[in-house]
Structure formats: structure tokens, C-alpha cells
Amino acid sequence: MTEIKINTEYITLGQFLKIADIISSGGQAKFFLAENEVLVDGEIDNRRGRKLYPNMIVKVLGKEYKII
């Protein structure tokens, strides 16, 4: 499991995808989420504005990430 450290209260799912180097720009988030399954704490979520808080688990492209 890869840890993604944030310095704010939360980040959005779109920001997470960019920070985790899954996409190269924030504009790609909408298209990526439409084409790929993303699980947030075990539930499918495709909202790029979804708020991610510390200790949440995101699974995308077969990898798991923990927000810290």
C-alpha cells in the first residue's frame, strides 16, 4: 500500500489522481474516472470532487493508496 501525504484537511479525488501520478493533469480526471473503476473505502466512486480525508483508502488500477 502506497501512502499519500497531504498537508491540508482533505484533498479531492481529482487532486489525488494527480498527486499519485495516475494522471498528468487535473483536466484528465473527468475522463479517467469515466473509464476506470475507483474504490474509496471499498465503494465505487467517480466524483472528482469527492473529499478524501486522512486514513481513507483509495484503490485504483489494482493499487491501494492510503491518505495520511
For the chain, domains (ranges, CATH) are 2-67 (3.10.290.10)
Confidence (pLDDT) at 65: 97
Segment 44-58, tens digit of pLDDT:
999 999 999 999 999
Identify residue 38 by its one-letter amino acid code: V
Judge whether residue 25 has pLDDT over 90. no
Per-residue pLDDT band for 16 (boundaries 50, 70, 90) equals very high
DSSP 10-51: -EEHHHHHHHTTSSSSGGGHHHHHHHS-EEETTEE---TT-E
Q: Classify 52 as helix, strand or coil.
A: strand
Per-residue pLDDT band for 27 (boundaries 50, 70, 90) equals confident
